[in-house]
Chains A and B, each alone.
Chain A
Amino acid sequence: MSHGFKGGAHPDEMKHLTSQKPIEKLPAPELVILPMSMHIGAPCQPLVAVGDHVYLGQKIAEAQAPVSAPVHATISGTVKAIAPMEHALGTKVMSVVIENDYQDELDPSIAPIDYSAMTAEEMIACIKEAGIVGHGGAAFPTHIKLSSALGKVDTVIINGAECEPFLTSDHRILLEHPEEVVEGVKIILRILNLKNAVIGIEMNKENTFERINSLLPVDGSIKLVPMAVKYPQGAEKQLIKTITGREVPSGKLPADAGCAVFNTDTAASIYRLFTTGMPMHRRIVTVSGPDMAVPKNLEVRIGTPVKDLIAFCGGFIEPPTKLLMGGPMMGTSLYSDEVPIIKGTNGILAFAEAEPIHISDPRCIRCGRCVADCPMQLVPTYIYRAAMAGRMEECASFNPLDCIECGVCSFVCPAKVPLTQGIRVAKQKIIAANRK
C-alpha cells in the first residue's frame, strides 16, 4: 500500500451513508437545463433554436475554442428556452432548456464507433465530439488532456481515490461496472500508445479490488494500487506523487511529470462512447449528507435540476443550512435547488447544523497544524497573515499560487481561522496584480 504524499488530513468519511447503496436511475426529468459552460474553458454556442425538436444525444451546442467541450441533449424533446439560467457557480449562464417528450428518441447518427483502424488523433476527435470532460469535479476537457499527453507521458493514472467525505459515486462505479472502467483504460492506453496504467483506489474501497484484479489484462499493462485513506489523496498532484513518487513541478501540468490522470467514470464514459456511440449525457451523483432523508447514489441525466434529486431522495429532514454541489472539502455551496447537475457534479450534500463553526475574531495560536498538514508544504498561516495585513509582496513570497485549495488548513485549524478562504482571496489578488 502506498502512503505517498506528505501532509493531509482525516475528515470523518461518512461514506457509510451511501457506500452500500446500488446506483439507482433517476427518471428523466420534465425539463433539463444545459448550461453552455459546465467545463473548464470557453463557453459553447447553441446550435438549436427555441421550438426545435432535439433527439437524445444530439449535439445542441458547439465548442468555439480548443479548450472547451460541446453539449448534447440529455433527453429528447423540444427546446423551450435559450436564456441565462442560474448556475451552481452563483452566476447566470446561458443555457438551453429542453422539455422532455419522454420518448428518449435517440439521435439517428449515434452508433458504436469502430476504432480498430483509427489513429490516436481520430479517437481524440471522437472524444471531443462527445463532450467528455473530467468526471472528478473540475471538468477539464478530456480531449485536451489526451492530446497534450500524446507522446509526452509514460504513465496513465486512473483516479479512484474519491477522498472527499460522503461521496461514493466512484466507489459504486468501481463496484458495479469495473469492466467499463478497465475497458476504458485500455482505450486510453491505445490512444496514447502506452502499456502502463495504474488504477489508484483508497483502501476504504477494498471490496472492489478482487473484481477489478480479475479484469486486469494478463500482460500487466494495467495495475491496481491500493492507497492509504487520506485527504486529499485524489488531488492530481498528490495522486501522482503517491503512485509514481514524482512531483509535478511547481506551476506545471501532470504531463510534465510524465503522467495523465483520468477519473474512473471518465474512463468508463470513454468506453461507453466507443461501444455505444453515446456522448456524455449522464453521470453518477451521490446524494447524501446528514440532512438528506434517504441518501442514495443516482444515475442522473446532466441538466437535471438539483431539486429533482432531492425529491427522489425523500427531501430534507429539516430546512438545510448548507446545500453543496461536490464534497464538503472542495464543493460549491448552492443558494438554490433550481440549478442543474453539470458534467462535473459528483455529489449533492445537505447539512442542517445549527451553525457551521464560525468565530468572529479567530486567533491563530501558532500550533503549526496547517503547516504540518498542508499537502503542498506551504505555510498557510503566514500566507493568511500577510494577505490579511495587505502585505502582498510578503504574501507572494510564501507561494500561495501553489495552493490547491484542498481545504486541509481550514479543516485542521483549532482556532477556526478561515485559512483556505483567505488564501483563495490572496491568490486572486496576486494573479490580478501579475496581469497588470
Chain B
Amino acid sequence: MNDLSKLKVSSSPHIRSEDTTSRIMLDVIIALMPALAIGIFVYGLRALTVTAVSAIGCVFFEWAYNHFSHKSQSISDLSAVVTGILLAYCLPVSTPLWTVLLGDLFAIIIVKQLFGGIGKNFVNPALAARAFLLASFAGIVSVYPKIRTALPLFTTPVDIVTTATPLSQMKEGILPDISVFNNALGMVGGSIGEISSFALIAGGIYLIYRKVISARIPLAFIGTVAVVTFIFPQGNNNLQWMLSQLVSGGLMLGAIFMATDYTTSPITINGQIVYGIGCGLITILIRYFGTYPEGVSYAILVMNLFIGLIEKVTMPRKFGAPKKERKGGAKVEK
C-alpha cells in the first residue's frame, strides 16, 4: 500500500517558476548598486548614509503601517527597500536625513499603502515623494554640492559649496563645460544616484538579462529623447547636444529604474512603447520650455496617470480574433 496521506489535490498547473516578487526586487537592488558605488566615490560616504537611511525608513514605515492597521506584513517582498533607494537616488547628497525620512513617509504611507500597497498605487512612490519634497523644500532638495568635497555623515551639512549641473547649463542653451564621457561617468553635480549613466546602464543591462524588465520602456523613452534632441538642438552641434541631453540629469535613472516600475507602467506590450515615448516627449517639453531644468520625474508622474487609458487602447489582439477587432468577445447575458 502506498502512503497517500500527504496527497494534496489542486487544479493545474502544478508547477511554478522560481521567480518571486522578492527575487525581482533583490535584482533591482543589485542593479542599483553600481550607481551607489559611483555616488559614494563622487560624494563620499554620506551618499551611503542617505541611501541606507532612506531604505530603512521606507521599510520601517511599511512595517508600521501594516502593523498598526492589522494587515499582513509585506516588507519581505523588498519593494520598500527599492522605493527607499530610488528616493535617495533622486535627492542631492546634502539633503538632511529628516527630509529624507519625511519623503519616505510620504512615499510609503500616502502614495503606496493608502492605495492598497504593492501593485495598487497609481503613481511611482519614490517620484511622488521627490515631487512632494521639491514642492515643499525647494531650497533644500535642489542644491547640488560640489563634487568630491567632504560632507558630514549624519548631521545636516551647512555652508554647502554648490555647483551647476549640466542640465542647468543646458537650460541656458549652452553645452555643459564637462565632456560627454566624464558626464556619463558621473564626475558631475547632481542627485546621488543619477549622475553616472554608465553605472545605471550597467544595472539596466543586468535587469534585462535577468528578464526583470524588458528593454521596451527604456528604449522608447531614451530613444525619443535622443531623436527629438538631435533634430532640435540648441546650438549647432546636434550629436554633442543630444548626447549631453542623454547622459545629464535623471534620464537614465528614470528611464531604466523609474519608468519601468511594474505598478505604474502599462502591462500591455504596445502600451509600454507608447508610455516610453510619452515619457520622452514630456521630458523634453519640460527641459526645453519648463521652469525646472529637469523634467524626467514629472514626465513619468504625468504618464503614470495615463496608463489606464494607454492600456485600454493597446489591448493585445487575442489569438484568433479578426485583425481589426480588439475588444468585445463574450458577453454575459442577464
Contact = CB atoms under 8 A, between A and B. Distances in A.
B319 interface: yes
A259 B296 CA distance: 52
Interface string A369-387: 0011001111101000000
Given A396-B332, A402-B329, A424-B11, 19 more contacts: A9-B17, A90-B9, A319-B7, A322-B10, A329-B14, A330-B13, A331-B14, A356-B10, A365-B24, A368-B262, A368-B268, A375-B319, A378-B316, A396-B330, A399-B329, A407-B12, A410-B13, A411-B13, A420-B13
Interface string B289-332: 00000000000000000000000000111111110000111111
Instruction: Describe B's contact surface by its main secondary structure.
Output: loop
Interface string B226-239: 00000000000000
A281 to B, nearest CB: 26
B70 interface: no
Highest count of chain A CB atoms <10 Å: which of B11, B24, B77, B117: B11
B267 A381 contact: yes
Interface of B: 2-17, 19-21, 23-24, 72, 74, 77, 79, 117-119, 214, 262-263, 265-269, 272, 315-322, 327-334
Contact of A420 (B12, B327, B334): B12
Contacts of B24: 365, 367, 414
Contact of B4 (A336, A360, A415, A416): A336
Contacts of B23: 414
Contact of B262 (A5, A334, A365): A365
A377 B20 contact: no
A379 B15 contact: no
A364 B263 CA distance: 9
Given A329-B13, A361-B72, A430-B332, A379 B20 contact: no
A203 to B, nearest CB: 21
A321 B6 contact: yes
A214 interface: no
A407 B334 CA distance: 30
Given A396-B330, A405-B12, A407-B13, A365 B7 contact: no
Contacts of A249: 320-322
Given A392-B332, A416-B20, A434-B330, A363 B119 contact: yes
Instruction: Describe A's contact surface by its main secondary structure.
Output: loop
Contacts of B118: 363, 365
B175 to A, nearest CB: 39
A96 interface: no
Nearest to A380: B267
9 contacts: A11-B17, A320-B7, A321-B6, A321-B8, A364-B119, A365-B21, A366-B263, A396-B329, A396-B331
**Chain A interface size range:** 35 or more
Nearest to B261: A366
Given A316-B2, A399-B318, A333 B9 contact: yes
A400 interface: yes
A393 B332 contact: yes
Contact of A250 (B8, B268, B316, B329): B329
A80 interface: no
A421 B269 CA distance: 24
A276 B331 CA distance: 50
Interface string A321-364: 11110001111111111000000000000011000110011011
A433 B12 contact: no
Nearest to B212: A367
